[in-house]
């Protein structure tokens, strides 16, 4: 019994070690753009988080993120008695200093924290967060003026957790007249379709209908490892920005041109214009060869990404060993056996990607070309 318990303990330690070893968030670049993994919404003790900003930087290093934004609340500072905050840029400065010479990009930002409407919104790429504070001395600043100030600073502003039940009791993201005005006047540029633990179909539809950037964020207040169970194979939600260069300016341009996707609970969420190139870059044919004396073809796929893809065969071909589903593990090769039924190569196999979403209830399809001249990589 003692040895059995020891074996179980060793297996648990081994699994956790493997999860830590493979925790880097990695997706391949797409034609013409770098794929940059960014977490643009998080908190520290400088507002209502539980950690110092250097911990956020260390977590991002471990996840091998390309960029983060520490976005403290402007109007909600529950630690003020213990940590007075005369300068709302301080968390960014501490995080930036903790980054040293690491290539991680630290983006300045803050969270506009208001009742609905408009609710909460992040403004990133700010030059001075202090100018957005709602109440400076005897002067209360109207929320529209705060968004105007963010625009004047060249910020990228996005709507946070629009389906948050504390502000939407039914959990349904819905535009108010103020949101429509913010969008029409160029004061609101994006929307979180995934925030921390939740995903919103309605927020995705708002993004599609109003040409807003699609974002996914951790909105972390505690520890990434605990909140998202990294040791069990979980991951923080991130925004994938498809950028022309690996710089803050490249990320800003990618966000403003809406070249983004969200990755949340092993699901990719975005427009077809971004997801299809990403899926084709992620899943490729590594090789194919006939079983001797048959027309049955052994096919090997390789996954170049962190996602565990679930593919449903929608082509006219059928499989020899499986039904119509193929699971492609992250950064691994996966095989299936194709009945070619006497057709000549190349074989075009269409898959619906079940853990990718391009609109509410809609999964993209990719077509893979399988040729017997392929050789295993």
Per-residue pLDDT, 343: 87
CATH architecture of 24-270: Alpha-Beta Barrel (3.20)
User: Which helix (H) or strand (E) covers residue 152, if one does?
Assistant: helix 143-152
- Percentage of the residues of the chain whose pLDDT score is greater than 70: 91
pTM for the model = 0.92
Residues in the chain: 377
Does 52 score more than 70 pLDDT? yes
Q: What is the DSSP letter of 227?
A: H
Name the residue among 36, 37, 34, 56 with its Cα closest to residue 45.
Answer: 56
Task: Find the farthest-apart pair of alpha carbons in the chain and give their distance in angstroms, rounded.
Answer: 86
Whole-Å CA distances, 108 to 156, 252, 367: 11, 12, 41
Name the residue among 117, 102, 120, 111 with its Cα closest to residue 62.
Answer: 102
Q: What number is the average pLDDT over the span 147-175?
A: 97
Cβ 349 vs Cβ 339: under 8 Å: no
Whole-Å CA distances, 31 to 161, 276, 280: 31, 11, 10
Per-residue pLDDT, 4: 41
Q: HSE (CB half, 13 Å, CA atoms) of 320? A: 15
Q: What number is the average pLDDT over the span 345-355?
A: 96
Cβ 126 vs Cβ 110: under 8 Å: yes
Q: What are the extents of the domains in the chain?
A: 24-270, 279-370
pLDDT in tens, 318-334: 999 989 999 999 999 99
Per-residue pLDDT, 374: 45
Residue 222 to residue 360: CA distance in whole angstroms? 30
Per-residue pLDDT, 140: 60
Q: What number is the average pLDDT over the span 193-207?
A: 98
Per-residue pLDDT, 136: 54
User: Which of the four pLDDT bands, split at 50, 70 and 90, describes residue 342?
Assistant: confident
Whole-Å CA distances, 212 to 9, 158, 237, 290: 48, 8, 18, 47
Q: What number is the average pLDDT over the span 112-134?
A: 95
Name the residue among 189, 183, 16, 179 with its Cα closest to residue 109.
Answer: 189
Class of domain 279-370: mainly beta
Cβ 306 vs Cβ 330: under 8 Å: yes
Q: What number is the average pLDDT over the span 146-158?
A: 97
Q: What number is the average pLDDT over the span 161-180?
A: 97
Per-residue pLDDT, 14: 39
3-state secondary structure of 366: strand
Query: What is the pLDDT of the chain when averaged over all its residues?
Result: 92
Residue 356 to residue 364: CA distance in whole angstroms? 7
């Amino acid at each position: 019994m003692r040895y059995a318990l020891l074996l179980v303990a060793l297996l648990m330690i081994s699994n956790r070690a493997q999860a830590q070893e493979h925790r880097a968030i990695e997706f391949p670049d797409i034609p013409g753009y770098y794929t940059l993994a960014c977490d643009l919404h998080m908190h520290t003790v400088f507002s209502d988080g539980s950690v110092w900003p250097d911990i956020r930087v260390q977590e991002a290093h471990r996840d091998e993120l390309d960029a983060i934004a520490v976005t403290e609340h402007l109007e909600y500072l529950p630690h003020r008695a213990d940590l007075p905050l005369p300068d709302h840029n301080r968390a960014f400065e501490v995080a930036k200093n903790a980054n040293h010479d690491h290539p991680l990009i630290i983006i300045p930002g803050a969270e506009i924290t208001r009742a609905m409407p408009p609710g909460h919104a992040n403004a990133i790429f700010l030059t001075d967060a202090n100018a957005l504070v709602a109440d400076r001395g005897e002067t209360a600043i109207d929320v529209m003026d705060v968004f105007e100030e963010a625009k004047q600073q060249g910020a990228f502003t996005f709507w946070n957790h629009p389906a948050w039940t504390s502000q939407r009791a039914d959990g349904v993201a819905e535009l108010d007249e103020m949101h429509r005005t913010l969008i029409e006047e160029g004061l609101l540029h994006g929307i979180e379709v995934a925030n921390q633990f939740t995903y919103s179909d309605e927020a995705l539809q708002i993004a599609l209908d109003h040409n807003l950037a699609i974002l996914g964020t951790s909105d972390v207040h505690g520890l990434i490892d605990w909140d998202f169970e990294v040791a069990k194979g979980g991951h923080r939600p991130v925004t994938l920005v498809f950028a022309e260069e690996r710089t803050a300016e490249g990320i800003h341009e990618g966000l403003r041109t809406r070249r983004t996707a969200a990755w949340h609970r092993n699901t990719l969420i975005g427009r077809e214009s971004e997801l299809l190139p990403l899926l084709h870059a992620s899943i490729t044919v590594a090789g194919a060869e006939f079983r001797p004396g048959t027309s049955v073809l052994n096919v090997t796929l390789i996954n170049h990404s962190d996602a565990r893809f679930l593919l449903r065969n929608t082509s006219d071909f059928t499989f020899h060993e499986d039904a119509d589903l193929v699971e492609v593990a992250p950064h691994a090769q996966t095989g299936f056996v194709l009945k070619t039924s006497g057709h000549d190569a190349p074989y075009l196999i269409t898959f619906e990607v079940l853990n990718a979403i391009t609109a509410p209830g809609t999964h993209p399809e990719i077509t893979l070309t399988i040729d017997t001249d392929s050789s295993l990589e």
